């Protein structure tokens, strides 16, 4: 299909491109940016007047809930939610049922996603069999079947020796290990340790649960030479340790969730289970440190941490409720809100767009294969994964308007900036208002 996107403000954070012009798409590729040859005859035109045309978003933390948890989220509904939020590339976690620890399961999931013609799917494979933390998976075979990295998801490893062997294996073949830094025993609470958790009588997760895990990971990285991506840093102390590790030259990257970027433990309110999240919401100083670190590049990427949760699992008492919230459709708007909150939205806009496009694509790096040069970027000859959104539009988050099967979000009722008008994936219009 030939598509002509006209009169949009073209922004590519990776190259610094920022100009008004047209985008011509043919055979799944961008064939021209800015000025389009008059002989180009499109099958479809999209008027982007007053809108920003940017690379499609890359989300590094999405639970699709398939296989095994279809009552909480179907592959189809979550892929719909992705393109409605301008997300064209999705990294999914392996904590499904069965766990993504076999090549056949990964191939099946990728095949089903491709049939839907929605966002691109990049699965993470399980680091250990069944996420049990004992036997390493066949990383080489999983990579061949399409895995872009390996993780324990939210299941901490009890054995440091197993973690060391996993990092050695990954370092040998150049794979990236994705780890959520949380010490096994200290991390068993339901809210961030502090006055609010004490007052509400909720079991706390101290900052030390994150920092102890980080110290362990960094020491093992020094001895193995492995590359690690840290998932969902949540504390000021954690951010500082990451900053020091990068300064020391360790091959480390990290992300934060939209929840930790905008919310604090006060948002739990009176036991609001929508704010029952992993990692838990922390204090304001932690949130401020995360915001600053995302701006200065210490934190590489912003993720939705999309976790659809069944209605019944959220109506339980706070401590018993299943952690998680929907976020795919909110990712772009909350990145823009962060730019707005900075005080100078125009200046902060390129970075706000970078942390959801080029920066997460850079985290994936060579795991993208032939797509590495163009995912998360606007480049002539690159893949036509595009998002067209109206920066002036504002919308209110309402459960009944979300396309995801998970309707629970702590941002329910918030008015957010930016509304997606169209999403193009591989040269096909996947979503249009």
Total-model pTM: 0.96
Q: Tally the domains of the chain.
A: 1
The reply to whether 354 falls in a domain is: yes
For 191, phi then psi, to 5°, come to: -145, 160
Whole-number percent of the chain with pLDDT over 90: 94
Cβ neighbors of 255 (< 8 A, separation 6 or more) are 60, 61, 229, 230, 231, 232, 233, 299, 300, 301, 302, 303, 360, 363
Question: What's the average model confidence in pLDDT over 281-287?
Answer: 98
The reply to whether 75 falls in a domain is: yes
Instruction: Provide the pLDDT confidence category of residue 345 given band limits of 50, 70 and 90.
Output: confident
Q: How far apart are CA 30 and CA 382, in angstroms?
A: 6
pLDDT higher than 80, residue 154 = yes
Query: Could you give the C-alpha distances from 25 to 31, 34, 320, 389, 427, in angstroms and in order?
Result: 6, 12, 49, 18, 6
Q: How far apart are CA 236 and CA 87, in angstroms?
A: 28
The reply to whether 129 falls in a domain is: yes
pLDDT higher than 70, residue 262 = yes
| pLDDT at res. 60 | 98
233: helix, strand or coil:
coil
The reply to whether 299 falls in a domain is: yes
pLDDT in tens, 83-123: 999 999 999 999 999 999 999 999 999 999 999 989 999 99
| pLDDT at res. 73 | 64
What is the domain extent for residue 300?
56-369+395-413
Q: How far apart are CA 154 and CA 63, in angstroms?
A: 12
Q: DSSP letters along 101-150, please?
A: -SHHHHHHHHHHHHHHT-SEEEEPEESBGGG-SSSB--HHHHHHTT---E
Whole-number percent of the chain with pLDDT over 70: 99
Q: Which residues are catalytic?
A: 305
pLDDT higher than 90, residue 68 = no
| pLDDT at res. 431 | 97
> For all residues of the chain together, what is the average pLDDT?
96
pLDDT higher than 90, residue 71 = no
CA angle (105, 111, 115) in 5-degree steps: 150
pLDDT higher than 80, residue 62 = yes
| pLDDT at res. 67 | 79
| pLDDT at res. 186 | 96
Query: What CATH number is attached to the domain comprising 80?
Result: 3.20.20.140
């Amino acid at each position: 299909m030939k598509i002509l996107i006209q009169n949009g403000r073209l922004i590519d954070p990776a190259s610094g491109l920022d100009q008004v012009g047209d985008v011509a798409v043919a055979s799944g590729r961008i064939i021209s940016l800015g000025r389009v040859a008059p002989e180009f005859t499109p099958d479809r035109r999209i008027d982007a007047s007053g809108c920003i045309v940017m690379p499609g978003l890359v989300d590094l933390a999405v639970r699709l809930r398939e296989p095994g948890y279809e009552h909480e989220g179907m592959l189809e509904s979550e892929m719909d939610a992705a393109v409605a939020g301008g997300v064209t590339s999705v990294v999914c976690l392996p904590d499904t049922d069965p766990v993504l620890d076999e090549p056949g399961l990964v191939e099946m999931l990728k095949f089903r996603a491709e049939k839907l013609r929605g966002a691109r799917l990049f699965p993470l494979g399980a680091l250990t069999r069944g996420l049990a933390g004992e036997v390493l998976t066949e990383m080489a075979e999983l990579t061949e079947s399409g895995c872009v990295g390996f993780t324990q998801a939210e299941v901490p490893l009890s054995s440091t020796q197993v973690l060391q062997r996993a990092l050695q294996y990954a370092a040998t073949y150049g794979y990236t290990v994705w780890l959520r830094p949380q010490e096994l025993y200290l991390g068993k609470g339901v809210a961030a340790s502090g006055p609010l958790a004490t007052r509400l009588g909720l079991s706390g997760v101290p900052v030390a649960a994150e920092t102890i895990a980080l110290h362990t990971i960094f020491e093992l990285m020094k001895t193995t030479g492995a590359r690690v991506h840290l998932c969902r840093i949540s504390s000021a102390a954690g951010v500082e340790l990451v900053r020091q590790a990068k300064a020391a030259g360790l091959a480390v990257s990290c992300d934060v969730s939209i929840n930790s970027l905008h919310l604090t433990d006060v948002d739990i309110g009176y036991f609001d289970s929508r704010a029952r999240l992993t990692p838990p919401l922390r204090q304001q100083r932690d949130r401020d440190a995360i915001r600053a670190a995302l701006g200065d590049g210490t934190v590489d990427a912003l993720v939705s941490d999309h976790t659809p949760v069944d209605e019944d699992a959220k109506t339980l008492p706070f401590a018993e409720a299943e952690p998680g919230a929907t976020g795919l459709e909110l990712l772009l708007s909350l990145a823009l809100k962060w730019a707005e909150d900075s005080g100078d939205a125009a200046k902060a806009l390129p970075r706000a767009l970078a942390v959801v496009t080029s920066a997460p694509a850079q985290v994936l790096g060579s795991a993208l294969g032939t797509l590495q040069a163009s995912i998360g970027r606007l480049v002539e000859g690159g893949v036509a994964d595009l998002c067209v959104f109206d920066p002036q539009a504002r919308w209110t988050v309402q459960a009944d308007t979300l396309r995801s099967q998970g309707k629970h979000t702590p941002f329910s009722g918030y008015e957010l900036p930016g509304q997606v008008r169209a999403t193009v994936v591989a040269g096909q219009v996947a979503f249009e208002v």
